[in-house]
Amino acid sequence: MFRLEPRASAPLAWQLATPVLAVLATMITGGILFAALGFDPVASIRTIFWDPLFGPAASYSRPQLLVKAGPLILIASGLALGFRAGIWNIGAEGQYIIGAICGAAVALAAYPTEAFWIFPAMILAGALGGCAWGMIPAMLRNWFGASEILVSLMLVYVAQKVAAWMAFGPMKNPEGFNFPGSRNLQQYPAASNPEIIANTGLHWGVIAAGIALVVTWFVMSRHVLGFHIRTAGAAPRAARFAGVRPQRLVALCLGVSGALAGVAGLFEVAGPAGQITESFGSGYGFTAIIVAFLGRLHPLGILFAGLLMALTYIGGELAQMMLQLPAATVQVFQGMLLFFLLGFDILTRYRIRRRA
């Protein structure tokens, strides 16, 4: 038998090692799963994790890495702030959708004007929309004590309905032959978010993600606000003793993470997605939760985790094409990865000893 002995602080080595262990365990379990389903496990794993970067078609898939990682990192860096403080915004998917709708609304209202201010105004609208959507659970928690977990999650479903309504109603493309969906913003230069350097996948959303990482890193490590966030998460009473106002922190964390998710949505609708459709929400908001945890809520970790998650998306598509693996493979992988991470986490918090 084994015995668990709590550690006073988590050793850095284990903090770094457990995500790697979790990824390896996911690959092994995934391989077993593929074998059970009748696929070649080695080929499947290689297709998902290796081929997108170094395989024969890598020149097509490599740019996709940044395209997918951008929104994930942008959303996750905001979520990490709240998770550190024990504030659970799990409705980033909804904030992402609303941000996209608000940003697109600005573009569609301005159409077909060509002006330099349109794109910045869209970014602002996206941020405000996401922020407002995030502030709903924040205010309901502050005023009434309602669980932000449940409210933010319910608002995802509401946001999806709003997107569907927009696609079928107010935002429907008048020149779209009565198909649902808005105008395609990629074909509207003033509002589009194009690839800045060809064949890199770099668009404004990726740059925003980089800025978000640097700013959150600075805030968390050097600014008193980051200290307050960490204190509130680790010991709420100590935080109040230090002068933290919990309600303000709730509003701040949900507002900021909502705004970042909203901006991510805006860059998506103006770039890779192009238009508001019924199924605009593609799950980035949920996957970003995994990215935040896998990155240990640390900006640098989130960078790597975001790239890795993006890799599984691209690899999953590749595997679907090349090996006819089911499309949902990626989702299963992401779920397993989070399980393994949470499980291995015990190594950072406890010392495991053999019982005498």
Partner 1 sequence: MIDPIAVFILLLGAATPILFAALGELVTERAGVLNLGVEGMMIGGALAGFAAAHATGSPALGFAAAAIAGVVLSMIFAALTQFLLSNQVATGLALTLFGLGLTAMFGKPYEGVKAPTMMAGPLGLNPMIWLGLLMVPAVWWGLNRSRPGLILRAVGENHDAAHALGYPVRAVRIAAIAFGGAMAGMGGAYISIATVLQWTEGMTAGAGWIALAIVVFAQWNPWGVLAGAWLFGGVTVLQLRLQAAGVAVPVQLLTMAPYLATIIVLVLISARQKYGRSGGGSAPGSLGKPFHALR
Partner 2 sequence: MTDVFRAESLGKTYPGVRANEDVSFSVAPGEIHALLGENGAGKSTLVKMIYGLVKPDDGHMTLMGSVHAPADPRAARAAGVAMVFQHFSLFDALTVAENIALGMENPPKSRELSQRIAELSQSYGLPLNPARRVASLSAGERQRVEILRCLLQSPRLLIMDEPTSVLTPQEAEILFATLRQLAAGGTAILYISHKLDEIRSHCDRATILRHGRVVNTVDPRAHTARELAAMMVGAEMRVIDRSGRKPGAEVLRVAGLATASDGMALKDVALTLRAGEILGIGGVAGNGQEELLSALSGEIATRPGTITLDGVDLSRTPPEARRKAGLLAAPEDRLGHAAVPEFSLAENTLLTAGSRQGLIRGGLIDHSAAQAFAQAVIAAFDVRTPGPQTAAGALSGGNLQKFVIGREVLGKPRVLVVNQPTWGVDAGAAAQVRQALLDLAAKGAGIIVISQDLDELLELSDRFCALNDGRLSAPRPTEGLSIDEIGLMLGGAHGMEVAHVPA
Mask for 90-109, x = binds partner 1 (CB under 8 A): x-------------------
Instruction: Write down the residue that tokens 């941000």 correspond to.
Output: 99
Candidate segments 153-161, 209-217, 223-231, 262-270, binder of partner 2 by CB under 8 A: 223-231
Smallest separation (angstroms) from partner 1 to the CB of 186? 25
Six-digit token pair at 314?
A: 């691209």
Instruction: Write down the residue that tokens 């008193």 correspond to.
Output: 224
Candidate segments 101-109, 117-125, 162-170, 216-224, binder of partner 1 by CB under 8 A: 162-170
Please say whether the beta carbons of 325 and 316 come within 8 A.
yes
Smallest separation (angstroms) from partner 1 to the CB of 286? 6
Among 10, 21, 146, 202, binds partner 1 (CB under 8 A): 146
Instruction: Indicate which of partner 2, partner 1, none lies near residue 155 (CB less than 5 to 8 Å, by partner kind).
Output: partner 1
Among 60, 115, 187, 223, binds partner 2 (CB under 8 A): 223
Six-digit token pair at 319?
A: 């595997």
Is residue 175 close enough to count as binding partner 2 by CB under 8 A? no
Q: Who's near 99: CB < 8 A, 6+ residues apart? A: 126, 127, 129, 130, 133, 258, 259, 261, 262, 263, 264, 265, 266
Phi first, then psi: give them for residue 112, nearest 5 degrees: -100, 25
Among 42, 240, 300, 346, binds partner 2 (CB under 8 A): 240
Say which amino acid occupies 162. Answer: V
| Helix axes of 224-234 and 204-222: crossing angle, nearest 10 degrees | 80
Six-digit token pair at 66?
A: 């940044």
Smallest separation (angstroms) from partner 1 to the CB of 91? 10
Among 8, 12, 36, 198, binds partner 2 (CB under 8 A): 8
Among 35, 238, 300, 342, binds partner 2 (CB under 8 A): 238
Phi first, then psi: give them for residue 175, nearest 5 degrees: -105, 25
Tell me whether residue 323 or residue 336 sits nearer to partner 1 (CB atom): 336
Tell me whether residue 122 or residue 167 sits nearer to partner 1 (CB atom): 167
Is residue 350 close enough to count as binding partner 1 by CB under 8 A? yes
**CA distances in angstroms from 141 to 18, 188, 289, listed in the order given:** 33, 40, 20
**Chain-centroid distance, C-alpha 77:** 8
Binding residues among 272-311 for partner 1 as defined by CB under 8 A: 286, 289-290, 293
Name residue 3's beta-bridge partners: 353
Q: Which residues are near partner 2 by CB under 8 A? A: 5, 8-10, 222-225, 227, 230-231, 234-235, 237-238, 240-243, 245, 353, 356
